[in-house]
Structure 1
Amino acid sequence: MAKIFSIQKKTDEHFVNLYEFDGINTKGHESHYMVATRARSKEQLKAVTHDYSAADAVVIYSIYNDQVVLVKQYRYPIDGAVYEFPAGLVEEGETLHEAAVREMKEETGLELKLLDVDPLYEKPRFTSVGMTDETNAMVYGYASGTISDAFAEPSEEIEIVLADRQEARRILEEENVALQTAYPLSRFVSDEAPFGFVQ
């Protein structure tokens, strides 16, 4: 297995930072590898702690009156919109489920009633492990209430989208869709029960 012999912090930002990893693999190849991370300090890096149990962010797969709740959000890395599930960072001292309820309210104005699912389906997973140590956990539930952007952060450019199966299929075929959204959305399109694959 490769060995890391040096880690240097390259940026000091609030939400995302870059670290340069210097290491050598079992073939003797030396690497200088840039890693994007939510870690504010070197001591918080997953490569240092080896603790993969806590999610950095939560992703919410929810149903509202037989429609799936999506957000169409502008993202700077692609200079365009991408369809995603409502999502956001888990704040310090907050549980995964508390973060999900808060983020759902902030991004959509809707209330979230969480499903009780096997923890296997809520386990934090890596997003794009070739460039980041970020982990996301998905939660599942039913949304209710009135859609509103009154609680949204001013930095976010979000359109709330309620999609039935036909519209969800069109989105998958024609639009930019985040990977962590695409798989459950394809299950929504093809399965008779929206949460059949987690129950």
Structure 2
Amino acid sequence: MATINSVEQLTENKFVNLFHVKGENDKGHKSNYFVASRCKTKEDLMITTGKNVADGVSIYALCGEKHDKVVMVRQYRYPINTYIYEFPAGLCEPGEDYHEAAVRELHEETGLVFHPLDVDSMYELPRFSSVGMSDESVAMVFGYADGEITDKYQELSEEIQVVLVDRAEAKRILKEEHVAILAAYQLQHFIHDEEPFAFLH
């Protein structure tokens, strides 16, 4: 396993920071690595703590009388300068558990009320979103949503359109649109599984 020799914080931003990591792997190769992180300081990095703590949540919510639609957002993202289809998501507040964060974030982004399922923890444990360049970790929360869609709770910085996706539209999105990888995998289940949450039982 590689040895990390030093970590230098290069930025001090609210939502993401850049760290310069110097290390040497077990082949003797010396590396200069740059890590993007949600952490505010190098003391909070997983490099330092060894702990995988969820930065945020991604919400897989079914809605409709027959629970035959998935709540998605079509959101503008600066890194790709276009729109991408994603699940509603957001950062966890200090002391907030996954379900609390998911209820809050779904309501803020869509206006809908989220009812999380009580599932085995292995399905909700935080997973790494892009570990080649970031230690960002996201917990997936599953459940049902109802209520009225509105954008009145969205932040001014957000450019989000709420979309209720049935199986036919899910196929079109996967064929024709930019889709976040986590959402793409779940949409594949949604299209083919008669009971979309069967894998949770």
TM category, shorter: over 0.9
Supply the distance in 1 between the matched residues of 2:18 and 2:154 (Cα, whole angstroms).
27
Supply the distance in 2 between the matched residues of 1:150 and 1:59 (Cα, whole angstroms).
20
Question: 1:154-165, aligned counterparts within 5 Å?
Answer: 154-165=156-167
Supply the distance in 2 between the matched residues of 1:142 and 1:28 (Cα, whole angstroms).
51
What is the aligned partner in structure 1 of residue 63 from structure 2? Answer: 64
* CA deviation map 1:40-83 (0-9, x unaligned): 0010000110001x211100000110210000000000000000
Give secondary structure in 1 for the equivalent of 2:153.
coil
Compute the TM-score of the two structures, normalised by the length of structure 2. Answer: 0.97
Question: 1:166-177, aligned counterparts within 5 Å?
Answer: 166-177=168-179
Supply the distance in 2 between the matched residues of 1:189 and 1:28 (Cα, whole angstroms).
47
Matched, 1:112 2:111: no
What is the aligned partner in structure 1 of residue 54 from structure 2? Answer: 55
2:168 alignment partner AA: Q
Q: 1:123 aligns with which of 109, 122, 125?
A: 125
Mind listing any 5+ residue stretches in structure 1 that lack a counterpart?
A: none
Matched, 1:89 2:91: yes
What is the aligned partner in structure 2 of residue 24 from structure 1? Answer: 24
Compute the TM-score of the two structures, normalised by the length of structure 1. Answer: 0.98
Give secondary structure in 1 for the equivalent of 2:73.
strand
What is the aligned partner in structure 2 of residue 132 from structure 1? Answer: 134
1:90 offset after TM fit, Å?
Answer: 0.4
Supply the distance in 1 between the matched residues of 2:110 and 2:84 (Cα, whole angstroms).
16
RMSD: 0.6
Give secondary structure in 1 for the equivalent of 2:4.
strand
Aligned residues: 198
Supply the distance in 1 between the matched residues of 2:28 and 2:125 (Cα, whole angstroms).
34
2:58 alignment partner AA: V
2:49 alignment partner AA: T
Give secondary structure in 1 for the equivalent of 2:83.
strand
What is the aligned partner in structure 2 of residue 38 from structure 1? Answer: 38
Mind listing any 5+ residue stretches in structure 2 that lack a counterpart?
A: none
What is the aligned partner in structure 2 of residue 148 from structure 1? Answer: 150
1:45 alignment partner AA: L
What is the aligned partner in structure 2 of residue 6 from structure 1? Answer: 6
1:117 offset after TM fit, Å?
Answer: 1.0
1:121 alignment partner AA: Y
Q: 1:186 aligns with which of 173, 185, 188?
A: 188
Q: Report the identity percentage.
A: 56
1:10 offset after TM fit, Å?
Answer: 0.4
Give secondary structure in 1 for the equivalent of 2:79.
helix
4+ long deviations beyond 6 Å: none
Q: 2:75 aligns with which of 59, 62, 73?
A: 73
